[in-house]
């Protein structure tokens, strides 16, 4: 339901004390358009907020939501592809979605339904604010708890949440919330371990806990106020990063073309990164893209970056400059195993040349790295020329590598 936060503000007053239903994806397999936790609100009037599949199953879900509002009983339904019935609601993409529909009765005041109260809390949040929502499914009461600091969750400090959980289920929920995950955790009975059905639909109506957690946006530190930095900053924003541009030269860093960055810092790159790490403002999701292409900046910066637990460290440079950089890092005492983690030349092998194309190459490698995609080839894992100009245009070109790589 966290996906609805940007649109909840105008909707909460519309719902007022009236009845409505919340339809949520609780399990997904195969090719499906939306992940677990995606929700859709259905008002008693038939008005809808959100989407679960891009149009494949919404009509059927609205009908089920109206049934649930009429009798007050939650619904559980699975939608998939069926070639036997061309007119049945399903996913033409071939995947399967399990959807839970929770009706919320009319009413206000002390007896307010927990899900209505949770919607009011979520409506007050900004789109990027860290938050988690933990819901009990499979019961008419539909307990719901909003957590404002998911990364620091301790169940002992949330008695209203701890009362819903016990044993292995509690540990699973706490771990999922703290890492910013989403999924379904079956409830363990007293004295039992949690059933091994995490992420599966509870189609029997058996109680389970649905977790949705969103941490603060991961950081991307872009080092280098140049054409490539100007192209990478907005591309990284599209991926949800909180982007900081860093350059030691005020005349370059202050240019308007870097206005898309969340923060622009004028400082020596290695000094800034060391200070951020010491202050606890970097973590295992932080990305560093070194685009300065200047040894006096690159080497001390990479020494600092490779000593930290970062998600990704990439550096721009040709294969020749990369080898020189490796020698300097070894001479500086950086362990070879840390140097092996450096993504250099930076990016995937897309044949990128222009700054915009390079930004796509770098962000593509970021996506591949965080999803461990095996079919994507980083430039660091290939050999030979990085750029391959088209044959007609290449006739009079020097075949050496272009400077950015």
* 191/255: higher pLDDT: 255
pLDDT classification of 374: cutoffs 50, 70, 90: low
Per-residue pLDDT of 317-367, as tens digits, reads 888 989 999 999 999 999 999 999 999 999 998 889 999 999 999 999 999
Q: Higher model confidence: residue 345 or residue 381?
A: 345
Contacts of 25 (CB under 8 A, 6+ apart): 32, 34, 35, 36, 37, 38, 39, 52, 97, 98, 99
Task: Give me the mean pLDDT over the 23-37 stretch.
Answer: 82
> Start-end ranges of CATH 3.40.50.720 in the chain?
219-380
178-197 as b/e, with b when 16 or more CB fall inside 10 Å?
bebbbbbbbbbeeeeebbee
Query: Region 294-314: what's the mean pLDDT?
Result: 95
Q: How large a percentage of the chain has pLDDT more than 90?
A: 52
Parallel/antiparallel/unpaired status of strands 263-266 and 48-49 = unpaired
Q: Do the bridges between strand 208-214 and strand 182-186 make them parallel or antiparallel, or are there none, so unpaired?
A: antiparallel
- Inform me whether the pLDDT recorded for 370 exceeds 50: yes
As a whole number, mean pLDDT of residues 200-224 equals: 80
Q: What pLDDT band is residue 32 in, cutting at 50, 70 and 90?
A: low
3-class secondary structure, 83: coil
| Range from 32-36, 280-284, 348-352 carrying the lowest mean pLDDT | 32-36
In the prediction, which pLDDT does 93 show?
Answer: 54
Confidence of residue 313 (pLDDT cuts 50, 70, 90): very high
**What is the predicted pLDDT for the residue at 388?**
52
Say how far apart CA 144 and CA 278 lie, in whole Å: 37
Our separate counts of H helices and E strands in the chain read: 13, 14
pLDDT at res. 16: 81
Q: Does 179 have pLDDT greater than 70? A: yes
Read off the pLDDT band of 382 (50, 70, 90).
Answer: confident
Which of 392 and 167 is assigned the larger pLDDT?
167
Pairing of strands 219-223, 242-247: parallel
pLDDT at 83: 42
Q: How far is CA 225 from the centre of its chain?
A: 26
Task: Please state the rounded mean pLDDT for residues 212-235.
Answer: 96
Q: What pLDDT score does 297 carry?
A: 94
- The residue-averaged pLDDT of 91-96 equals 60
Average pLDDT over residues 111-132: 90
Q: How far apart are CA 209 and CA 269, in angstroms?
A: 44
In contact, 73 and 103? CB cutoff 8 Å:
yes
Q: What is the DSSP letter of 121?
A: H
CATH topology of domain 219-380: Rossmann fold (3.40.50)
Considering 56-60, 192-196, 332-336, 372-376, the range whose residues carry the highest mean pLDDT is 332-336
pLDDT for res 404: 36
The Cα 112–Cα 173 span in angstroms is 25
- Phi, psi of 99, deg, nearest 5: -125, 130
pLDDT of residue 160: 78
pLDDT at 189 over 80: no
Asked if residue 266 has pLDDT above 70, the reply is yes
Q: What is the pLDDT of residue 109?
A: 61
Which stretch of 12-26, 100-114, 251-265, 347-361 has the lowest confidence by average pLDDT?
Answer: 100-114
Residue-averaged pLDDT of the chain: 83
Helix (H) or strand (E) holding 79, with range, is strand 75-79
pLDDT digits (tens, 9 = 90+) for 241-253: 999 999 999 999 9
pLDDT score recorded for residue 205: 55
Give the pLDDT of residue 342: 95
Encode pLDDT of 135-149 as tens digits.
Answer: 988 776 778 999 998
Q: In the structure, what pLDDT confidence band is assigned to residue 113 with cuts at 50, 70 and 90?
A: confident
Q: What confidence score (pLDDT) does residue 262 get?
A: 96
């Amino acid at each position: 339901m966290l996906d609805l936060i940007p649109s909840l503000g105008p909707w909460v007053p519309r719902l007022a004390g009236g009845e409505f239903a919340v339809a949520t994806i609780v399990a997904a397999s195969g090719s499906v358009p939306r992940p677990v936790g995606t929700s859709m609100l259905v008002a008693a009037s038939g008005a809808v907020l959100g989407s679960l599949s891009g149009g494949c199953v919404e009509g059927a879900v609205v009908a089920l939501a109206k049934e649930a509002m009429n009798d007050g009983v939650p619904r559980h339904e699975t939608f998939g592809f069926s070639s036997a019935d061309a007119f049945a609601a399903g996913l033409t993409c071939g995947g399967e979605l399990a959807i839970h529909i929770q009706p919320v009765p009319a009413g206000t005041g002390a007896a307010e339904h927990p899900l209505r109260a949770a919607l009011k809390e979520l409506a007050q949040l900004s789109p990027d604010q860290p938050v988690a929502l933990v819901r009990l499914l499979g019961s008419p009461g539909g307990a719901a708890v909003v957590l404002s600091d998911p990364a620091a969750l301790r169940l002992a400090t949330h008695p209203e949440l701890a009362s819903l959980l016990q044993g292995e289920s509690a540990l699973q929920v706490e771990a999922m919330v703290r890492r910013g995950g989403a999924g379904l955790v079956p409830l363990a009975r007293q004295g039992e371990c949690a059933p091994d059905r995490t992420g599966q639909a509870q189609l029997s109506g058996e109680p389970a806990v649905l977790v949705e957690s969103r941490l603060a946006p991961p950081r991307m530190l872009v080092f280098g106020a140049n054409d490539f930095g100007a192209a990478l900053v907005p591309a990284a924003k599209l991926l949800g990063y909180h982007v900081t541009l860093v350059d030691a030269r005020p005349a370059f860093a202050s240019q308007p073309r870097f206005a898309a960055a969340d923060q622009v810092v004028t400082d020596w790159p290695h000094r800034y990164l060391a200070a951020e790490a010491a202050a606890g403002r970097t973590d295992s999701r932080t990305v560093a893209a070194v685009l300065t292409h200047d040894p006096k900046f690159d080497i001390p910066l990479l020494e600092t970056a490779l000593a930290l637990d970062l998600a990704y460290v990439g550096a721009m440079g040709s294969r020749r400059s990369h080898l020189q950089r490796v020698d300097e890092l070894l001479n500086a005492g950086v362990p070879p195993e840390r140097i092996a983690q450096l993504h250099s030349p930076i990016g995937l092998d897309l044949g990128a040349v222009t700054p915009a194309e390079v930004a796509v190459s770098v962000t593509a490698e970021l996506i591949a790295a965080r999803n461990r995609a095996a079919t994507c080839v980083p430039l660091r894992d290939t050999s030979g020329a990085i750029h391959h100009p088209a044959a007609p245009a290449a006739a009079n070109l020097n075949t050496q590598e272009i400077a950015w790589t």
